[in-house]
Amino acid sequence: MNERSQWGTRLGFLLAAIGSAVGLGNIWRFPATAYENGGGAFFIPYLFALLTAGIPILIMEFTIGNKYRSSAPRSFSKISKGMEWIGWWQVLISFVISTYYPIIIAWSLMFAYYSFGTKWGADTSSFFFNDFLSMTDPGSFGSIVPNVLIPLLIVWTIVFFIMGKGVKKGIEIANRIFIPTLMIIFLIIVICAVTLPGALEGLNAFFEPNWESIMDGSVWVAAYGQIFFSLSIAFAIMITYSSYLPKKSDITNNAFITGFANSSFELLAGIGVFAILGFMALQSGSSIDEVVTSGVGLAFVVFPEIISQMPASSLFGILFFVSLFLAGISSMISITETYIAGVQEKFSLSRGKAILFGAGLSFIISLFYATQGGLVLLDTVDYFINNYGVALAGLFEVVAIAWFARILKDLQNHADGQSAIKLGWWWRLSIGVITPVVLGYMMLQNLRNDLEIPYEGYPLDFLFNFGWLLAIGVMFIGALLTTKKWPSKDHEA
């Protein structure tokens, strides 16, 4: 008997996969990345990366999950014993992300609340760093900040509740509510944004192609990096989610839908963000170039400032921060599921116990980021775990599958056997050659950069402990986990 959880409907699976993919990366990472790497011309490397890495790897991970019907480490161990640790490594990367991702969701929640009457005042930067976070010097932690702790507790309660309800009644239903709501809210934001004065200048700046940038290797690295992070691939997530698919599911089509839906949202966010930046530039009499930022600064410093100047500012603020919240929480659920599934299978635990241990531990660690030094810690961990976690784990994954296990043909047969679109040589070439070459190059570039210049000029011992040591540490803990045998009762049908 197969007792494995299963999605209720195909749409439910798709919304969950899209929910994982559509996250903060779409809203605050893509627009600035595209702008800084050639504007309109960036779409060429970006589309190339989507078609040669993003969608092919998504197809591969959906196939692995659907074929082996297990968590990522168990699925990899069924391919070859030696591959199990790549699965744990990816699960641990997801675990690390799950310790700080809820912090950003908590900030969003709090800022949705602050939107009533635009509480951040005129100096949004000082409000965010001093009044809201009570920040200390980089490298020290200080005490826990109640402004962050309270929304954090709310976020974790929601996460525990959804996870506790299980795959079909929890994750699927949550995404069925969150994702359509997010799409509607975001559409309203973008429609309002493009009608603002100055919007057109913003869009012109965003789309204006700088063709020379295409010749620059770092632009291609940025495109691949964006695709990896944005599609949640090489995080063990998509393998876990597709392991709950019914046996005969159209894999390839699902991967194309997920990939294009995510990129469409990304483009929409680019339009919205740049229309709004255009408005800001006009208001402050500066150029677009001066107002572009990404990440935390964009969402919590620049946007509040713009929102204050907008008509119906409180309402607009609420819509914006609620959309960050929804985009974030659906991704958070997906990373949490990866380690819950892994731990549950490895230690034969009930789902409830796996949630209690796994997410419970993540919750405790998350409290460190709720301190006065939390932002610097978050920034460091995020940077290192993404650059040396995801890119490297992704590289190991494709090389192991294409060159050591040599199962691309088997996987292709499995996908083709149940998908309308048939895979060809382009798929094997993408996974076996193009992706490893680009990821390898990306690793070397990142390493060179970070060894030359300490990230953000943070203290060296801090970067060593929470950057390098953590990124390397998860590989070792991953290896340690493989020493325990899988329970004999197999979840395979």
SS3 state at 144: strand
Nearer to ligand PHE, 25 or 56 (CB): 25
Helix (H) or strand (E) holding 40: none
Q: Does 331 bind ligand PHE (CB under 6 A)?
A: yes
- Region binding ligand PHE by CB under 6 A among candidate stretches 181-189, 209-217, 228-236, 470-478: 228-236
Q: Does 229 bind ligand PHE (CB under 6 A)?
A: yes
Spatial separation of the C-alpha atoms in residues 190 and 185, rounded to whole Å:
9
Q: Which residues does 159 contact at the CB level (< 8 Å), separation at least 6?
A: 102, 329, 332, 333, 336, 359
Asked if residues 408 and 432 have their Cβ atoms less than 8 Å apart, the reply is yes
What is the amino acid identity at position 415? A
> Which stretch in 145-153, 158-166, 226-234, 411-419 sits in contact with ligand PHE by CB under 6 A?
226-234
Name the nearest CA neighbour of 22 among 334, 301, 236, 271: 334
Q: Does 242 bind ligand PHE (CB under 6 A)?
A: no
In DSSP terms, which residues pair with 209 in a beta bridge?
39
- Can you read off the two tokens belonging to residue 186? 């975001």
Tokens at residue 285, please? 């009499």
Residue 156 interacts with ligand PHE (CB under 6 A): yes or no: no
Tokens 């798929």 correspond to 427
| Residue closest to ligand PHE, measured at CB | 23
Among 17, 21, 324, 471, binds ligand PHE (CB under 6 A): 21
From 90, 108, 230, 412, residue interacting with ligand PHE (rule: CB under 6 A): 230
Stretch that binds ligand PHE, among 20-28, 57-65, 248-256, 417-425 (CB under 6 A): 20-28
In the complex, the smallest distance separating the C-beta of residue 111 from ligand PHE, rounded to whole angstroms, is 17
Token duo for residue 196 = 């603002």
Q: Are 201 and 328 in contact (CB under 8 A)?
A: no
Residues 6+ apart with CB under 8 A from 23: 230, 232, 327, 328, 330, 331
Nearest CA to 63 out of 427, 404, 488, 391 is that of 427
**Is residue 49 within 8 Å of 38, Cβ to Cβ?**
no
**Binding status of residue 56 toward ligand PHE by CB under 6 A:** no
Under the binding rule (CB under 6 A), the answer on residue 120 touching ligand PHE is no
- Which lies closer to ligand PHE via its Cβ, residue 135 or residue 273? 273
Q: Is 23 in the site for ligand PHE (CB under 6 A)?
A: yes
Report the amino acid identity of residue 151.
Answer: P
Candidate segments 225-233, 302-310, 449-457, 482-490, binder of ligand PHE by CB under 6 A: 225-233
Alpha carbon distance 324, 28 (integer Å): 9
Binding span for ligand PHE by CB under 6 A among 17-25, 43-51, 102-110, 423-431: 17-25
SS3 sequence of 369-436: HHECCHHHHHHHHHHHHHHHHHHHHHHHHHHHHHHHCCCHHHHHHHHHHHCCCCCCHHHHHHHHHHHH
CB of 19 to ligand PHE, least distance (A): 9
Q: Which is nearer to ligand PHE, 72 or 281 (CB)?
A: 72
- Of 48, 85, 235, 384, the residue at the interface with ligand PHE (CB under 6 A) is 235
At residue 70, φ and ψ (nearest 5 deg) are: -150, 170
In this structure, the number of other CB atoms found within 10 A of the CB of residue 88 comes to 27
Instruction: Indicate whether 53 belongs to the interface with ligand PHE (CB under 6 A).
Output: no
Binding part of the chain for ligand PHE, among 23-31, 112-120, 141-149, 398-406 by CB under 6 A, reads: 23-31
Applying CB under 6 A, among 118, 232, 242, 380 the residue interacting with ligand PHE is: 232
Q: Contact letters (x/-) for ligand PHE, 335-364, by CB under 6 A?
A: x-----------------------------
* Greatest extent of the chain over all pairs of C-alpha atoms, in Å: 68
Q: How many angstroms separate the Cα of 431 from the Cα of each of 421, 427, 485?
A: 17, 6, 30
25 binds ligand PHE (CB under 6 A): yes
- Number of residues engaging ligand PHE in binding (CB under 6 A): 12
- Please report how close the Cβ of residue 93 comes to ligand PHE at its closest, in angstroms: 8
In the beta sheet, which residues pair with residue 371? 144
Instruction: Specify whether the CB–CB gap between 29 and 295 falls below 8 A.
Output: yes
Window of 21-29, 79-87, 365-373, 399-407 that interacts with ligand PHE by CB under 6 A: 21-29
CB 61, min distance to ligand PHE, A: 13
Specify whether the CB–CB gap between 72 and 239 falls below 8 A.
yes
Pick the closer one to ligand PHE by CB: 19 or 198: 19
Site string for ligand PHE, 171-210 (x = CB under 6 A): ----------------------------------------
Interacting residues with ligand PHE (CB under 6 A): 21, 23-26, 97, 229-230, 232, 235, 331, 335
